[in-house]
Structure 1
Amino acid sequence: MKWETAITNYKNYLRIERSLSDNTIDNYARDLKKLTRYLEQLDKPIDPLQITREDLQEFVYTIAKEVQARSQARVISGLKGFFNYLVFEDYRTDNPIELIESPKIGRKLPDTLSEEEIDALIDAIDLGKPQGERNRAMLETLYSCGLRVTELISLKLSDLYFEEGFINVVGKGDKQRFVPISEHTQKYINIYRNELRNHIDVKPEHVDILFLNRRGRQLTRAMIFTIIKDLAVKAGVKKNISPHTFRHSFATHLLQNGSDLRSIQQMLGHESITTTEIYMHVDRNDLAREMAKFHPRGKE
């Protein structure tokens, strides 16, 4: 079996059987191609069914010199998934990377923005420009609903249930969830829809997409990153932020204001509560204040 064939089949498996997103599938394929390039450079004609643990161990040693521990762990995890697939499909009887350990990495706490910083970013939007109302509506939606960037650009007009106070969000693996949307955010989306979007020549294939570029097409992930980076410069926000920072801030602010973790999990669309629990560790000062306020010994 050739690597190209195996990778194509694996991508189809991830798409059809696992219902993973295109971005996730591309990341898995990218890591496998690192392995194939490594083998080509060594002039080792080893196919996926013949490669051994020793071959993979050498590859892991090589990438350890080039990438950080977190990236190295991701590559190893991706390779384990690929060889588990080959075992599942009866192409192999063993997983040659199964016993290779990933580097120990600490859990990275997410960056967050304060309410004042979010307000500053939104205030930096030039509403005099044609896309100003759209950008304000997008940032309000990111922060108010805790969306991933792909969920934001994929949001449809038919997903808006404003009378009920919800939007339908299509998340990872095409899983749907209903997320509450405030009247405040609804107001800015309606301004964009009525004052800007109605005057765009929308392409037929994007007629139901909410947020559009000037050519009437769906926005790209890269465009959202660019918009936010530019606004950070204008607003004087020094943090290294991205669209995902708004999602982290959404969850952190809910937790700080008393929301329970299960509710946040449902709104974020996390499959496991363990993923959501990272927000319990974001602000340790809050824990100290809680101790001082409520524990009998803390009051001393």
Structure 2
Amino acid sequence: MTIQKSIQVYLDWKQTHTSVAYSRYITRLKHFISFISPKSCLQDITGDDIVAFHKSMETTYSPTTIAYSARILKNFFWFWHGRGQTEINPKEIIPIRFINADKEIVTKSDFEDMNLALDAHTLSGIQKKLVLNLLWDTGMRVSELLDIKLSDISSQQLNGLRTAKVRSRKTMRYDLVVWSAATNELLNQYLGVRLCMPITSDYVLLNRKTGKPFTSKSVQRWIKDIADMAMIDKNITPHSFRHGKANEILECGGTVRDVGALLRHVSPSSSFNYLQLSESRYLQTAERFLRTA
């Protein structure tokens, strides 16, 4: 099988469950094809080719991008290794995780300032305020948030809390998320308008003009604009709320297990990636282990 054909088959399969990853994967895989030329057969590619490819990226790309490329190739070769089409052992492709110690997180104070900066008297304002509150309450990934449909939201409350099913594009499994009474009030306010829209789509968050779901880029732009309005000097993204939720759980005395449960991690190791200490908790933790005179 040619490498071009094997990549197209893999991408077609990938697109069936995650269109976002498809657009990112095709860029990196085409880059790989260009590098290994004139090799054209999947079976001819060796582990040395992969090592040399990532070595060649070191002068141009960041360590994070190289690590991401390694995860893409690992996934690609797992796909074909399982079908007996390659001798490469995907376990030998080891993507290094680079965690930025200065990664921005949203604190409770940041959230409150951003929330106050929004006007909930317009449809756009209500939508943005709802997105902000759902991200803070649940720690959802933005893709999970935008995938929520009207049919995913429970009509009944669980222990007084409203719930919805969200699907992770990483695992393709559905999990429950819950949110506060204040956020539920915002949701009901928004749904009063949303259900009157002459739109057949079942998605909750829709662009009224186009009738289509909002994109992750739209939400990223919203969050940046809201942070600027609130005069917060941080590079805040939707994913910063996920880190903020983990931090808030720990601030309130929660454990790594609690972080994993509420952020719906499959692997415990994923939860440890969110254990970034806030400055106040870092000082408190460090002080406990300092010698006293």
Give the equivalent residue in structure 1 for 2:221.
Answer: 226
RMSD: 2.7
Letter in 2 for 1:65: T
Q: What is the aligned counterpart of 1:149 among 114, 125, 142?
A: 142
> Are 1:190 and 2:188 counterparts?
yes
- Post-superposition Cα deviations, 1:250-289, rounded to whole Å, max 9, x if no partner, equal 1211210112322321221111122112333323642542
Residues 13-162 of structure 1: matches in 2 within 5 Å? 13-14=13-14, 21-39=18-36, 44-95=38-89, 106-109=98-101, 110-161=103-154
Decide whether the 8 Å contact of 1:265 with 1:276 is kept in 2: yes
- Post-superposition Cα deviations, 1:128-170, rounded to whole Å, max 9, x if no partner, equal 4431111111111111111110111111222223522222222
Letter in 2 for 1:175: R
SS in 1 for 2:233: coil
Decide whether the 8 Å contact of 2:4 with 2:33 is kept in 1: no
Give the equivalent residue in structure 2 for 1:257.
Answer: 252
Letter in 1 for 2:166: V
Letter in 2 for 1:282: L
Alpha-carbon distance between aligned partners in 2 of 1:272 and 1:101, rounded to the nearest angstrom: 17
Letter in 2 for 1:23: V
Q: CA deviation at 1:298?
A: 5.8
Q: CA deviation at 1:211?
A: 1.4
TM-score computed with the length of structure 1 as normaliser: 0.83
SS in 1 for 2:176: strand
Q: CA deviation at 1:54?
A: 4.4
Q: CA deviation at 1:12?
A: 4.6
SS in 1 for 2:157: coil
Give the gaps of 5 or more residues in structure 1: none
Alpha-carbon distance between aligned partners in 2 of 1:78 and 1:191, rounded to the nearest angstrom: 42
Alpha-carbon distance between aligned partners in 1 of 2:145 and 2:92, rounded to the nearest angstrom: 39
Alpha-carbon distance between aligned partners in 1 of 2:206 and 2:13, rounded to the nearest angstrom: 32
Decide whether the 8 Å contact of 1:292 with 1:299 is kept in 2: no
Change (3 A) 1:245 1:105: closer
TM-score computed with the length of structure 2 as normaliser: 0.85
Alpha-carbon distance between aligned partners in 2 of 1:62 and 1:187, rounded to the nearest angstrom: 53
Count of residue pairs brought into register by the alignment = 286
Give the equivalent residue in structure 1 for 2:243.
Answer: 248
Alpha-carbon distance between aligned partners in 1 of 2:86 and 2:195, rounded to the nearest angstrom: 56
Change (3 A) 1:84 1:106: closer
Letter in 1 for 2:221: T
Decide whether the 8 Å contact of 1:177 with 1:267 is kept in 2: no
Letter in 2 for 1:276: S
Please say which of residues 72-81 and 146-155 is displaced more in the overlay. 72-81
Give the equivalent residue in structure 2 for 1:181.
Answer: 179
Alpha-carbon distance between aligned partners in 2 of 1:277 and 1:114, rounded to the nearest angstrom: 19
Alpha-carbon distance between aligned partners in 1 of 2:185 and 2:150, rounded to the nearest angstrom: 14
Give the gaps of 5 or more residues in structure 2: none
Residues 210-221 of structure 1: matches in 2 within 5 Å? 210-215=204-209, 216-221=211-216
Give the equivalent residue in structure 1 for 2:2.
Answer: 2
Change (3 A) 1:254 1:9: same
Change (3 A) 1:153 1:13: closer
Change (3 A) 1:298 1:21: farther
Letter in 1 for 2:134: T
Letter in 1 for 2:7: I
